[in-house]
Structure 1
């Protein structure tokens, strides 16, 4: 459930009197004094989220990835069982350096996130195992927005790289303005999954449609190209329903994004071309399927700002110790934390209660491996039993329906999770 993180760990250059920020003093306070998982408690009694993980990142230097992957060419990657050490040794702006294969979610597994200090809450559920589909629904605590969708990556293994084609639709509803936006995420490729340094590129065209006004934002995530000059770059524009360009968008999805008036942008580009800035035409096209080398190009981390541009978004710097913590962002560091008193509130299907993940987090890899095997066998046994009984899996918090804005099939939240009635939750752990 990896699309949410890149949204919440960002800074914005926009300011408004209608900001929904909530002071940290209003954060949820638990009645327990217990301190767990490297967290701490502030003097005023408000829980302070952890800044480090309970155990150091393990190394996979002595683990043969090739022995596993050489058997997998042509297979659906979601069906491949991998060792705990492979899952841990590899850990999207928050994810471009965190390229590890995550634990496969169990069917019915859930995750809730309540951030009263940020003014939102989220619930997600693994609604399908083959193919793997995660549905999520986030909402403002002040009824200002709803953000929902499904994560369904279709994976292709090319030998030394893995390409992910996104299938799920993202929907953002701005309730205050009665506007609804939908889009599909770009293609993603992870390079050097067997040897060398892992690196990610995203490419393809993303269209964000405003179904209320007919406006559209068209973003081109540029492929790396032959010499890496375009790596991580994004360019596009916002157009009204008559297709007239209103703003140009540019930047890097790993760094920052700006907008500028189209006339200013064109004038700048013409000037740049005259000065020789575009004298070398680089061959474009993504490199997942056929390439001579998978070596990561040298990343140029500076976006040239066109005069008159407005900053839209800037990524939050990672903590200094991020490299020793699976390249987690500060936000990601907190996601698996069990705050005091939380266990009695969570659904029994919440992944923070999953024993193999908890064991890995504290560094007990043997226990984690044993629990992972037990949970996977339990899931297979449940599947066999349903097959014998000719029963279909029943999702708990989401159901297939029709997206009211696109008319396409979509996973929709049925509500009720935060009423804390878990009587119908499956026993998956």
Structure 2
């Protein structure tokens, strides 16, 4: 694929010709949830790369150095047949399963739709804020559609930072535990409008024909202007046909988003696909107040668009036929969106200001991104052995691993165990960082 080809991630939108009659007023009341195109739709929103930029988009690369590695000749069954029912994080997997990103960078994809947080902060009503927060939660899983590659497991002590002044945030994450694998993250708005933080422990299991990723850990969003905090967990993600057939992904389970100040709750049901696939990608749910009165109904697809309406009009309105175009991705580029393509770029001189543990500096990921699979595989084995040797050395010395940027604690809103940001990263004192590469 040459550099002259262009990629477009935005969808063309839902057909809104039948958004009329008794439901037009309800449509006008909807708040944009994922990506709003006001010229074409009155719906909650569409999945895309985010809102248009007023003064042009900050320049980032638009493709990877090499196209996606083809897995067609690789015997998946030869590796997975011994793993049925086991937790996959404890099993060394060949690089052919991977995509050229660390799981820490995968977490950062939450921020692709950060404008929804900015929008929530500007909303005067708590119901409107919850709509945008719910959209933000759903948008985080949208990037996983058709992403059949597995991110690299972060090394203990690995970090990733991302500062996007054009999008109004900065972000830092650290791999704080190896067994179990726990990734902690913290982000803040550059205009002091939000804090976004949490720790994630995805539990992966192989069930013969599918790989299931069960989410663990709490996600917290604080809207500072409104003194509100929202918490939730992600739905379960499942990759089907890992042995034979076309790979496909579904998200299922219930996501509950709680506003700890008002008691409002958004309950979102990610539907399993069902016997004939009629429920594939569907999301349905509602927002209720602290007395459990339903205030707003939400439905749509996490790959395309979400809609919302007043509860009274919901049953009639949902029967109308709706058509949506799917989110376009860069298929030769591991089905990354343009935001994701930019996550591992390393500009000249950047290595001098990054922490030495930043995963942009990982040689195995860099090798895979450049299309050198032999080098990537060799470096992956070297890094894993280096990690094992460091663990053996700590055992001999009876020393415990010390995290650098996060510490154990309790979530201030749920009271559950969590990893909290200790501060200091953006002051750029990287002394004491471990040698992991």
Question: Are positions 1:364 and 2:375 aligned together?
Answer: no
Within 5 A, what are the aligned runs for 1:239-318? Answer: 239-268=288-317, 272=319, 303=322, 317-318=327-328
Task: Report the Cα offset of residue 25 of structure 1.
Answer: 6.0
Aligned length: 357
Question: For the residues of structure 2 that align with 1:184 and 1:246, how far apart are their CA atoms?
Answer: 22
Q: Report the counterpart of residue 80 of structure 1 in structure 2.
A: 91
Question: Are positions 1:325 and 2:336 aligned together?
Answer: no
Q: Report the counterpart of residue 60 of structure 1 in structure 2.
A: 71
The answer to whether the 8 Å contact 2:67/2:371 transfers is yes
Task: Report the Cα offset of residue 59 of structure 1.
Answer: 1.1
Q: 1:11 aligns with which of 35, 39, 44?
A: 35
Q: Report the counterpart of residue 222 of structure 1 in structure 2.
A: 271
Q: Report the counterpart of residue 427 of structure 1 in structure 2.
A: 435
Q: 1:218 to 1:115 in 2, by over 3 A?
A: same
The answer to whether the 8 Å contact 2:89/2:203 transfers is no
The runs of 5 or more residues in structure 1 that have no matched partner are 1-8, 16-20, 28-46, 278-301, 306-313
Within 5 A, what are the aligned runs for 1:11-410? Answer: 11-12=35-36, 48-88=59-99, 92-268=141-317, 272=319, 303=322, 317-319=327-329, 322-410=330-418
Query: RMSD in angstroms over aligned alpha carbons?
Result: 2.6
Task: Report the Cα offset of residue 87 of structure 1.
Answer: 1.9
TM, length-normalised to structure 1: 0.78
356-365 or 89-98, which deviates more: 89-98
TM, length-normalised to structure 2: 0.77
Question: For the residues of structure 2 that align with 1:352 and 1:304, how far apart are their CA atoms?
Answer: 40
Instruction: Give the SS at the match of 2:35.
Output: strand
Question: For the residues of structure 2 that align with 1:111 and 1:241, how far apart are their CA atoms?
Answer: 38
Instruction: Give the SS at the match of 2:83.
Output: coil
The runs of 5 or more residues in structure 2 that have no matched partner are 1-32, 43-50, 107-140
The answer to whether the 8 Å contact 1:110/1:125 transfers is yes
Q: 1:26 to 1:179 in 2, by over 3 A?
A: farther
Question: For the residues of structure 1 that align with 2:334 and 2:421, how far apart are their CA atoms?
Answer: 32
The answer to whether the 8 Å contact 2:266/2:286 transfers is yes
